[in-house]
Amino acid sequence: MSYQNVASCRFYIDYFSYWKSVGLVHALKSWDWNGNYHDGYFIGLNPSLNTRIFTGEVLDIEGGADAPEDKFVIAVDLKEAVPNRVLDSINFCGVLGHNINVYSDEINGCEMQFLTNKRDAMDSQIGQHTPMGTIDSGWLEGEPEIINAERDDAELKVGNSGFSLSKVEFHANTSNYDDTKDEVDRFAFRMQWRDPSGYIIGGESSDEVISGDWNLNCLTMGHYYEMPRSPDLNLTMTTEFDGFDQLTTQGGATITNVRYTGNPQWAGNNAWEIGDSNKYYKRNGRRTWKLKFSYLDATDVFASNYSSNTYLQNGTHSSNDDYHNNNDLNSVRDAFEYTLADDDSFGAKVLNFIGSGQRFIFQPDNTNNNPDQFAICILDQDSLVLKQTASNVYDVSMKIVEVW
């Protein structure tokens, strides 16, 4: 069996990239517990752009054992609150291009977690908000690790440098969260370190005072979608070596100008590698996949409702499982069950997020979580043709291209 086999494909849709593309992101803020701010643009699925984000004595807090827990926090503030349905759809998170596991003798581990908040004001600083819940793996059944991220209570513990992805879910703060209102407009990513005894650095049980020098290039969070069936056997996988130009001189000599050979490094590591890298033996070329998925059901391809709300005019054009009649809702009219935020179809979960050139993470075989199975990609086409082959049965073809 090929180690680069294409089987059941998985698309990781990054909400930060999508929100950025539609202008929903208001600001990014980062700080440590000392109030030190750190520059960097942490979203957008372009981990080769960011360099060192935080350095120096970020964990050097005053007060020793009596000081509060020390953390490093990055917040993504939105112009408007996202629908609560979006929170329920989040099922993965991760960091790309990091070495936050590079510890000293005083540090034994690094934990990470996403938090959801309602800001007190548009430009309020981190800490000036109401906690609405967490996005983590603490309530999931089974092992949440996709790659290089182990569960440690509710937090995720990073084992090696490179990148980390994990399955997660939203868990509401029952004292603050109201599922009838859309209030979450800040997503905060928190990291904290533990000492060899297991205590949080700077916590009441730890008197460690340390400094750090770490990279963290890109945050990702959103949902993944798995195609309902494998692609046709007649598929094409290509490695494009497009980073060079060749010129033949009048004397017949060939001159080659190499502009790039492949994906740039992430935080000193080769892209999509875990652990220490050898920069002289990285993967070269750009990967592309030409895939065709045949005999997809209409419900797998099309969303039941292509709107952001549940307004329904005529229920006779919907199936019984995608709308409520007014008797169920005690309302004056029928309503859709799903919106574009939570419909479980390829059209809603994938195409609606990446159809305008947005980046996503592609995994051609969702059963193979080795590091070389992932790629940041775009759809290399300005339209997608859905061909009907039988009643309510469709074929879809697509070209997926790796980018950096």
pLDDT score of 343? 87
Q: ∠161-166-172 over CA atoms, to 5°?
A: 130
Question: Regarding beta strands 109-119 and 186-194, do their DSSP bridges make them parallel or antiparallel, or are they unpaired?
Answer: antiparallel
Given a cut of 50, whether residue 66 has pLDDT beyond it is no
Q: Contact, 70 vs 57, CB < 8 A?
A: no
Question: Between residues 36 and 8, which one has the greater pLDDT?
Answer: 8
Q: Which of 204-218, 333-347, 362-376 has the highest mean pLDDT?
A: 362-376
pLDDT score of 342? 86
pLDDT score of 203? 56
CA pair distance 50, 47, nearest whole angstrom: 6
Percentage of the residues of the chain whose pLDDT score is greater than 90? 42
pLDDT score of 319? 64
pLDDT score of 332? 56
Confidence of residue 1 (pLDDT cuts 50, 70, 90): very low
Q: Over the stretch 81-90, which tens digit does the pLDDT of each residue have?
A: 999 999 999 9
Q: What is the mean pLDDT of the chain?
A: 84
What CATH fold (topology level) applies to the domain 10-226?
Answer: Jelly Rolls (2.60.120)
Mean pLDDT across 15-29:
93
Given a cut of 80, whether residue 255 has pLDDT beyond it is yes
Lowest mean pLDDT among 57-71, 134-148, 331-345: 57-71
Confidence of residue 64 (pLDDT cuts 50, 70, 90): very low
Lowest mean pLDDT among 204-218, 224-238, 355-369: 204-218
Given a cut of 50, whether residue 104 has pLDDT beyond it is yes
pLDDT score of 371? 93
Confidence of residue 68 (pLDDT cuts 50, 70, 90): very low
| CA nearest to 30, candidates 97, 75, 95 | 75
Given a cut of 70, whether residue 324 has pLDDT beyond it is no
CA pair distance 396, 393, nearest whole angstrom: 10
pLDDT score of 175? 93
* Tokens coding 31: 């700080």
Q: Contact, 137 vs 166, CB < 8 A?
A: yes
| Residue type at 278 in one-letter notation | N
Mean pLDDT across 96-125:
85
Percentage of the residues of the chain whose pLDDT score is greater than 70? 82
Whether the full predicted model's pTM is greater than 0.75, yes or no, is: yes
| CA nearest to 292, candidates 238, 376, 233, 346 | 233
| Residue type at 112 in one-letter notation | M
Confidence of residue 355 (pLDDT cuts 50, 70, 90): confident
pLDDT score of 141? 79
Confidence of residue 147 (pLDDT cuts 50, 70, 90): very high
Mean pLDDT across 173-178:
93
**Domain extent listing, the chain:** 10-226
Lowest mean pLDDT among 40-54, 250-264, 286-300: 40-54
Confidence of residue 65 (pLDDT cuts 50, 70, 90): very low
| CA nearest to 95, candidates 266, 212, 210, 323 | 266
